[in-house]
Structure 1
C-alpha cells in the first residue's frame, strides 16, 4: 500500500517527537543542558514545519534551520532535533536544483558545527567537523541520487510512451496495407465478374446470374472486412479495446481460390501434410500473401492457370502460388513497382519468414513463402529473394 505524501510526513514528524522524548533526557549525562519545558517546546517547533516540507521545501528548510539555531543557542543538545533539518535538506536535494541544495547543505553543516563548538572542548573539534561534513554530505547525496532516479524514471516512461505511440502509428500503417490488400483482391474479382456478366447477360442468363452472385458475395465480404478494419482504427484512436473478430486464416484459402476460379482463372488448391493449429498472425500473413499473389494473376495473367499449395512441416509451413502466364508480373518485380509485392516482403519479415518472388524456369511466375509456426519477430536482415 502506497502512503499519501501528507501521511508520510505526519509519520516522520511523529517519529521525530518520539526521538525527542526518548533521547532528550540523556542530554544531561553528556554535558548538555537538560531538556525542560522550553527545550521540548523549541524541539517541537523544529519538528512542526517538516509537515509542509513537500509543498515548500526551501521555505520550510530555512524556517527549520532558524528555529534549530534558537534551540542550539539556548544550550540544548543539537543531535536531539537534528533529524528535522536533515530531513529538510534531503527534501530540497530531492525536489530542487543541485546548486540550491548544495548551498543549504553547507549552511546546515556550518550551523551544526557552530552549535557543537559552543560547549565542546577544542579536542573535539576534528570529530565534530567530520560529523558535520559526513552526515550532511551523505544526506545531500541521497537526495541528489533519488532526484536523478526520478528523472530517469520519468524519461523512461516518456520513452515507453513514445515507443507505444510509434507502435500505434506502425500498426495503423499495417492496417492501411491490410485494407489495400482486401480491397484490391475483392475489387479485382468484382471487376472480372462484372465484365463476364455484361458479356453474357443476353446470351447466357445462368452464367450471368452466377457472376452476379459472386459479385454479391465478394462485395459483402469486402464490406465486412472494411468494417472490421475501421473498428480497429477507431478503437485505437479512442484508446479502447481492439475487437476480437477473427481475421482471415489458412482455412479460408479454399474460399479465396473458389472466388478466383469463378473469376475465370483456373486455380488448383492442394494441402500437403496434416493441418494443425497455427499462430493467428502467421495464418493471416500466409492468407494475405496468397491473396496478393492471386490478385496479381487476375490482373496481369488472365489467360494463365494457377496452383496454390499449402505444405505443413514439423516447425514451419510453406505456401506457394505458381502460374503459367507470361512475364507481365516479372516485369513489375524487375522494376520494383507495386505496393502488393512490397507488402509480401514486409509480411514475411514481420513473422520471421522467407519469401521468394520471381519467374519459373519452366515459364510463368512463382511466389513461395516459408513461415515458422509461431508468430515471432523477424531477425535482422533481408529474408527476401527474387
Structure 2
C-alpha cells in the first residue's frame, strides 16, 4: 500500500468515527425532548439499541448491506420496545445513503424499500400517529437518500474512469515518446549513412587516383591525398555533429553544434546545409572524377530550413550513388526548378560507354533492393523517406537511354502553410 492510499484510508476511518460519535450524541440527546406519551421512557436498554443502530456505520464503506441490515434490525427493536421511533432512524438513514453510494442503483432501490417498510411499521405500532403522513415520509425520505447516494456513486465512477483514462494517456504518451526516440535514432542512422557513404566514396576515388599516379605524377598524387585528408576531416566533423544528437545536443548544422558539411558551412556561417552549399558539394564530387552540372531555374521561393536540408541530402545521396555504382568518368546533371507551389529536382547520370551495361545492372540491383557486395539500396529508401516526411514525392530508376535518374518534388513554404 502506498503512503497516499494509507493516508486516504486513515482519513476515511477518522471521518467515519467522527460521524458515528456525532450521530450517537444527537440520538442519545434527542429523547430528552421527546413527548412523554405514548412512547416508553428512554432507559439503558433504549440507549443500547440506539448504539447498535449507529455503530454498524463503521463498516458502511466495505459492507454497506451489513450496515443497513444491522441498523434496520436495531431500529425495529427500538420500535417494538415502544421507544420513540425517531431515535432509531439515524443509523438506517446513513446506511441507505452508503448502500446507494457504494453499490449503485439496484442496491439503493432495495435499501430504500427496506427502510420504507420499517418506517411504515413504526407508524403502525405507534398509537395516535398519522399513518398517511408516515407512508408519505416512508416513500419520500428513502428516495431522497438513495438519490443523493446514487449521485455520489456516479461521481466515484467518473473519477475511476478519469483515473483509468489518465493512466492510459500516460501509457500512450510513453509509447509515443518511445516511438519518437526510435524515429530519431533512425534519422540519425540515415544521417550517418549519408555522411559516411558520400565521403568514403570520395576518399576511395581519390585514394585510387593517388595510388595510380603515385610514381608517374607526384603532384597529382599529392593533390589527391590532400583531398582525401580534407574529405576525411569533413566526414569526422559531420559524424561528430550527428552523434551529438545522441547526447541531447542541437540538430546537425545548427550554430555551435558542428556542421553537416564543414566546407560549405565554413562559407555559410554555420548554417544547416541547403541550396547555398550545393555548389561546394558539386565541386567536391567533381574533384572525385564525376563531371557534374548544376542548373537552377524558376523564381526563387522560400523552402524552409528543413526542406533545404532535405534537398541537400537527397542530391548528396544521388551523387554518392553515382560515385559508388558508376565511378569516375561518369557525367551527372542536377536540374533544380522552382514552380508556383513546389520545388522540383532531377538528378540524372550517364555512364562510360564501355561500362554502360554493367553499371546499369548494378544500379538496377540497388534500386530493386537486391543485395550485393556494394549495398542493398538503403540510400534510395532514405531519400524517399525524406521526401515523404515533408509532404513530397520521389521516384528513382534506370533511364531508357542509359544511366539512372532521381526525380523528387517538395512543397514550398507557402504551399505547405
Would you say the 8 A contact 2:296–2:337 is kept in 1? Answer: yes
Would you say the 8 A contact 1:273–1:312 is kept in 2? Answer: yes
Would you say the 8 A contact 1:108–1:136 is kept in 2? Answer: no
CA-CA distance at 1:174 after TM superposition: 2.3
Question: CA 1:181–1:245 in 2, change beyond 3 Å: closer, same or farther?
Answer: closer
3-state SS of the aligned residue for 1:201?
Answer: coil
Aligned to 1:35: none
Query: Which stretch shifts more, 209-218 or 63-72?
Result: 63-72
Q: Give the whole-Å Cα distance in 2 for the aligned partners of 1:81 and 1:278.
A: 75
3-state SS of the aligned residue for 2:282?
Answer: helix
Aligned to 1:268: 293
Matched, 1:224 2:263: no
3-state SS of the aligned residue for 1:254?
Answer: helix
Aligned residues: CA RMSD: 4.6
Aligned to 1:172: 185
Aligned to 1:257: 282
Equivalent in 402, 405, 408 of residue 363 of structure 1: 402
Q: Give the whole-Å Cα distance in 1 for the aligned partners of 2:366 and 2:415.
A: 27
CA-CA distance at 1:273 after TM superposition: 2.9
Q: Give the whole-Å Cα distance in 2 for the aligned partners of 1:66 and 1:252.
A: 86
Would you say the 8 A contact 2:341–2:415 is kept in 1? Answer: no
5+ residue gaps, structure 2: 36-46, 79-84, 124-130, 254-259, 261-271, 371-376
Would you say the 8 A contact 2:99–2:107 is kept in 1? Answer: no
Q: Which has the larger radius of gyration?
A: 2
Q: Give the whole-Å Cα distance in 2 for the aligned partners of 1:334 and 1:220.
A: 30
Question: CA 1:183–1:359 in 2, change beyond 3 Å: closer, same or farther?
Answer: same
Q: Give the whole-Å Cα distance in 2 for the aligned partners of 1:269 and 1:103.
A: 80
Aligned to 1:316: 342
Question: CA 1:232–1:123 in 2, change beyond 3 Å: closer, same or farther?
Answer: same
Matched, 1:288 2:327: no
3-state SS of the aligned residue for 1:292?
Answer: helix
Aligned to 1:343: 382
CA displacement, residues 115-171 of structure 1 (integer Å, 9 cap, x when unaligned): 866866542223234334333233222212321222122112212221221221122
Within 5 Å, give how 1:1-386 maps onto structure 2: 58=62, 75=86, 121=131, 122-124=134-136, 125-235=138-248, 242-246=249-253, 248-250=272-274, 251-302=276-327, 303-325=329-351, 326=356, 327-333=360-366, 335-337=368-370, 338-374=377-413
CA-CA distance at 1:265 after TM superposition: 0.7
5+ residue gaps, structure 1: 32-37, 94-100, 236-241, 378-386
CA-CA distance at 1:342 after TM superposition: 1.8
